Structure 1
Amino acid sequence: MLGSLQELFDLPLETKTRNVAKKLFHGYAGQHPHIPLYESMGIDDADVQEKVDELVSSLWPQGHPTFSKTIQSYAEKLSTLDHIVRRMILESLGVEKYLEEHLNSTYYFLRITKYKGPQTPETEVGLPTHTDQNLLTILYQNQINGLEVLTKNGEWISVKPSPESFIVIAGESLYAWSNGRIHSAKHRVMMSGSETRYSAGLFTISKSGYIVKVPDELVDEGHPLLFKPFDMAEFLEFYSRENGWEAESALKSYCGI
């Protein structure tokens, strides 16, 4: 998998920019002055072979079956892991009766990312502080660390997973759906030295038209309702249009109570 990531980003810039998308960060993203170390490629429905093949045909007109199958297989296996994690979450909250609806209302978006080493011992920002806006993110990286998470005590800690581990990050939409019970942690990527960091994150996103609503069982006197029901696709459009990444909590601005 990691070899495929390097092969992808080694393509000429004019080839990579063929992956165009209207949604923020859903096509090729890179060459930004404020995040010069960052480069990414997005693939909607990456667990579906035909969707991956469409991207591959735009990058390699002659085809690249090995790359295509590697990406689809990776996304498919992580989607299985996502199902397991979401089942665990809903069971822990006592609302497992919503599991089938939860699983059927989402799709997967794969974001493949490269962070160049800044060629300096000084630490530089690879990706600024943010929270994910989707439901759940499952991340795999090479052994070049850089991901940092902000604790509730205001301390930044470095995430150093083993080579066999995946990182699971709850997004703002899961925080809203759980009525504040599942915390969405702020995180960032900080780079130093000369080595390149590669990562591949599978993002679980609610389908357009599906209304994300807090289950009645998760609202009580101790946990008053925090968010109005919302369509995630419409929220993500708001997030992109209104520079939501600059807000302390774009979702609270959009549908908070």
Structure 2
Amino acid sequence: MMTSSLQSWPEPIVRVQALSESGIPRIPERFVRPPSERPSPIPNFAPQDPDRTRDGINIPIIDLAGIMSSADGSTLLLERISYACREWGFFQVVNHGVSEELMGAAREAWREFFRLPVEAKQEYANNPSTYEGYGSRIGVEREATLDWSDYFFLYYSPRSARNPSKWPAIPLSCRELISEYGKEVTELCGRLLSLISRSLGFEGDYFERAFGGEEFGACLRANFYPKCPQPDLTLGLSAHSDPGFLTFLLPDPHVAGLQVRQGDQWVTVEPIPNAFIVNLGDQMQVVTNAIYRSVEHRVIVNSAKERVSLAFFYNPKSDLLIQPAEELVTEDRPALYSPMTYEEYRTYIRTKGPRGKSQLQSLMRLPTKKLTP
């Protein structure tokens, strides 16, 4: 966990849901993004199939059918995973083996939590020392531009960090669902991690060992994006890349909101029913020496619909020194990043808030030779 001594936020916390439900016609100035950071107008487009989105582009789709009972994977599947990790840093996973009923129940339990009276949710109010609990901002800088969202953050792994008493007691099924959901997503993560390792020519357990084995870190962030009267002026979550290793996002099936940067374009991801959206975090980019990469993404908001999503973060052991794998460092491709523990790394985003890929860029070493593609 974080070792910061900060026990309170620098300014009074504003619950975005309360602002939304108050019926204000304009958002407070604290939520207004600079013009260069505002989302482009999103046209009304209902995709007819999973290979098309409102942008006409879709992130890759990884179909795990047929391999859920073993670590085996065809050459074609490994090539598909390699392409997604090299070119996008994002993909959707279908036929993944996690119970569809469990996915739906977990998401709806959190939706029910966010519909509770604010007084009930305030019992779980968080602070910047660990971020665990009910929150409405990331970062502790005064007068920072705020995101149009509330959230609930909790630790799932290692077991020594898990404290179910801090998980919501209402709805009554929530704690049991969190435990079961975390178990199934963790198992899926292990299977996918093995395939990603093999797509780089490593043994299937390479990344699992590199990131701490059974002492890996995992946490869950339930996101709530309320209706917004001026969605063209703000963001639900600022552009950023995730600090950890892998993220499994269970999106709201009814409201698109995630946007992924592809070059100079922001691609709106249209969720496939019962699929997970998976993205690589900064630690994956560091260990693979930028062969695989994390990618900036952000969340847009909606004037007519609220949105709930669950992000499950799979992270390295907190005190483990992370650096490029020796096998991926060559004369033509020297080590691009300086070593740093994950605990030190994630402290940056928890202090500054989401700021693109500035933290990862700060670790970069200047290459002495031109990199091979």
Q: Please give the range of the TM-score, normalised by the shorter of the 2 chains.
A: 0.7 to 0.9
* Rg larger for: 2
SS at match of 2:330: coil
Shift in CA distance, 125/239, structure 1 to aligned 2, threshold 3 Å = closer
**1:92 maps to 2:199:** yes
Shift of 1:2: 2.2
The residue aligned with 1:225 is 335
Residue 55 of structure 1: aligned partner: 166
User: 1:248 Cα deviation (Å)?
Assistant: 4.2
Asked if 1:4 is matched to 2:113, the reply is no
1:27 aligns with 2:136: no
- 1:104 corresponds in structure 2 to 214
Contact 1:123 1:192 in 2 (8 A): no
Residue in structure 1 matching 2:361, options 249, 252, 257: 252
Instruction: Tell whether the 8 Å contact from 2:249 to 2:312 is kept in structure 1 after alignment.
Output: yes
Question: 2:347: which partner in 1?
Answer: 237
AA in 2 matched with 1:246: R
**Structure 2 counterpart of 1:245, one-letter code:** P
Residue 13 of structure 1 and its aligned partner are, at CA, apart by 2.8
Whole-angstrom CA distance in 1 between matches of 2:332 and 2:302: 44
Q: More relative contact order in 1 or in 2 (CA 8 Å, sep 6+)? A: 2
Cα gap change, 1:230 to 1:164, in 2 (>3 Å): same
Task: Tell me by how many angstroms 1:213 deviates.
Answer: 2.6
Distance 1:137 1:48, change over 3 A: same
Report the secondary structure of 1:182's partner residue: coil
Name the SS for the 1:192 alignment partner.
coil
When you count helix as a share of all residues, which structure comes out higher?
1
The residue aligned with 2:239 is 129
Q: For residues 131 and 50 of structure 1, do their structure 2 counterparts lie closer, same or farther at Cα, with a shift above 3 Å needed? A: closer
Q: Distance in 2 between matches of 1:197 and 1:141?
A: 9
Identity %: 25
Match of 1:173 among 283, 288, 297: 283
SS at match of 2:294: coil
Q: Name the TM-score, length of structure 1 as normaliser.
A: 0.86
Cα distance, 1:195 vs structure 2: 0.8
- What is the SS of the residue equivalent to 1:2? helix
> What letter corresponds to residue 45 of structure 1 in structure 2?
Y
What is the alpha-carbon distance in structure 2 between the residues aligned to residue 84 and residue 251 of structure 1?
27
Contact 2:154 2:219 in 1 (8 A): yes
Q: Which moved more, 1:5-14 or 1:214-223?
A: 5-14
> Partner letter of residue 66 of structure 1?
S
1:37/1:22 CA distance change after superposition, 3 Å: closer
1:17 aligns with: 122
RMSD of aligned residue pairs (Cα, Å): 2.7
For residues 304 and 160 of structure 2, the distance between their equivalents in structure 1, rounded to whole angstroms, comes to: 35
Give the structure 1 partner of residue 184 of structure 2. 77
Q: Post-superposition shift, 1:207?
A: 1.9
Give deviations 1:44-89, integer Å, cap 9, x for gaps: 0169699363123xx44xx765111111111111111111121111
